[in-house]
């Protein structure tokens, strides 16, 4: 199944009306998700048990929370090699988010008015790690690290159960490494509903984070406002590989397959200004897909979103990138060209530069978060970060001298807006200061 070629040579940007656009990822599941959320909100645990049986074919009637003993057993169950890999990855992810979160605005003190910036963590965070098609212990690490750095006190994790009703031991081991001991074996829109509304088993949270399928993403849309929804639409995986004439076809092809491996509804684009690259990479993709154990998932994604986009120049390649706004962007160009290309990237969740920087490194161990904006939300959103689990407030202190100097302006503005009490709150204080001075 070769990549479908889209020839944009001779076409001038903007490309918004030319490039294939993803369908609204929530349009076809909106009503179904709304019904699931209604059931969870009204019936709580009873709905979770029924929906898990109906949608996942799993009986969790004996309780949706994973017992502490099962979490403890995960360390021995996964073995020392995986445990160490999880620890190394989590330490690097944690260190990155500590560095990212350390930069805070300085207090402002001017003309007798001081303003302090104060960051406060949310009280409780709900994390979602996908399951079903694959296991994602790395997502547990990626979501838990910034929540911990933010200072969140209570962290709950929802994971879809396997057919035997249990959670994969690697995912439980990741929870143990990250210090998350509140784990629930529920998935899909019902898990998001449980986290948002609360049930007798699942206390409600303040923020929900973590990627998922279209149902999970649509559920997050619908509960936004009831809870905070961290990061923008984190849905099916996407990649755009920009490959110059010097790119290694085998590397470009495998990087396309990496994201297509997550299953249907994703996006895997090659963008190049060299027709020979299109042919070479397409052939290599075919070879990889034919021999993959996940061939069905790869073919499903590539059939709808496997595109080789041929453009006139590197500049036009960036025009395509900034229009698509992909979750992952791979720049497979020589180092001497990479800096200029990166400077031109306006819309992307994460950028990986050069032959030795595959997105897989970012998925697991580079440090920055792999929970990234998809479906063009990179136009306005960013990777999951500690700030997604914090709110910011400011504390204002005004001296009496500052009130004397600046208060009359407040009186004028408040009266202009027809808010006499606002004006009087200052006017009375000014009068008090005058009385004290006389």
Pairing of β 113-121 and β 390-398: antiparallel
Catalytic residues: 327-328
């Amino acid at each position: 199944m070769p990549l479908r070629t889209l020839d944009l040579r001779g076409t001038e940007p903007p490309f918004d009306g030319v490039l294939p656009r993803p369908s609204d990822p929530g349009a076809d599941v909106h009503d179904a998700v709304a019904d699931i959320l209604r059931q969870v909100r009204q019936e709580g645990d009873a709905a979770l048990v029924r929906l898990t049986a109906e949608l996942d074919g799993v009986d969790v009637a004996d309780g949706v929370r994973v017992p502490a003993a099962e979490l403890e057993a995960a360390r021995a169950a996964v073995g020392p090699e995986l445990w160490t890999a999880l620890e190394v990855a989590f330490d690097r992810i944690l260190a990155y988010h500590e560095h990212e979160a350390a930069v805070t605005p300085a207090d402002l003190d001017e003309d007798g008015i001081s303003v302090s910036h104060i960051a406060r963590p949310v009280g409780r965070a709900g994390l979602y790690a996908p399951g079903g098609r694959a296991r994602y212990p790395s997502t547990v690490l990626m979501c838990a690290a910034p929540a911990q750095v933010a200072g969140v006190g209570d962290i709950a994790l929802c994971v879809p159960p396997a057919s035997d009703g249990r959670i994969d031991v690697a995912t439980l081991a990741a929870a143990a490494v990250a210090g998350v001991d509140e784990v629930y074996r529920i998935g899909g829109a019902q898990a998001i509903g449980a986290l948002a509304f609360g049930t007798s088993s699942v206390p409600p949270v303040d923020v929900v984070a973590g990627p998922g399928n279209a149902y999970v993403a649509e559920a997050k849309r619908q509960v936004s406002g009831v809870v905070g929804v961290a990061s923008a639409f984190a849905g099916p995986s996407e990649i755009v590989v920009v490959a110059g004439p010097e790119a290694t076809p085998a590397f470009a092809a495998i990087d396309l397959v990496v994201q297509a491996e997550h299953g249907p509804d994703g996006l895997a684009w090659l963008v190049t200004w060299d027709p020979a690259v299109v042919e070479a990479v397409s052939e290599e993709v075919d070879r990889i897909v034919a021999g993959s154990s996940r061939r069905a998932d790869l073919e499903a994604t590539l059939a709808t979103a496997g595109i080789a986009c041929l453009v006139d120049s590197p500049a036009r390649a960036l025009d395509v990138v900034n229009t698509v706004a992909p979750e992952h962007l791979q720049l497979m160009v020589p180092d001497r060209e990479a800096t200029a290309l990166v400077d031109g990237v306006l819309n992307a969740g994460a950028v990986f530069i050069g032959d030795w920087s595959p997105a897989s490194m970012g998925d697991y161990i580079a440090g920055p978060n792999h929970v990234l904006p998809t479906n063009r939300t990179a136009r306005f959103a960013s990777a999951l970060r500690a700030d997604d689990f914090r709110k910011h407030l400011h504390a204002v202190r005004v001296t009496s001298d500052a009130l004397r100097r600046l208060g009359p302006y407040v009186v004028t503005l408040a009266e202009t807006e027809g808010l006499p009490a606002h004006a009087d709150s200052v006017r009375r204080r000014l009068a008090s200061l005058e009385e004290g001075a006389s």
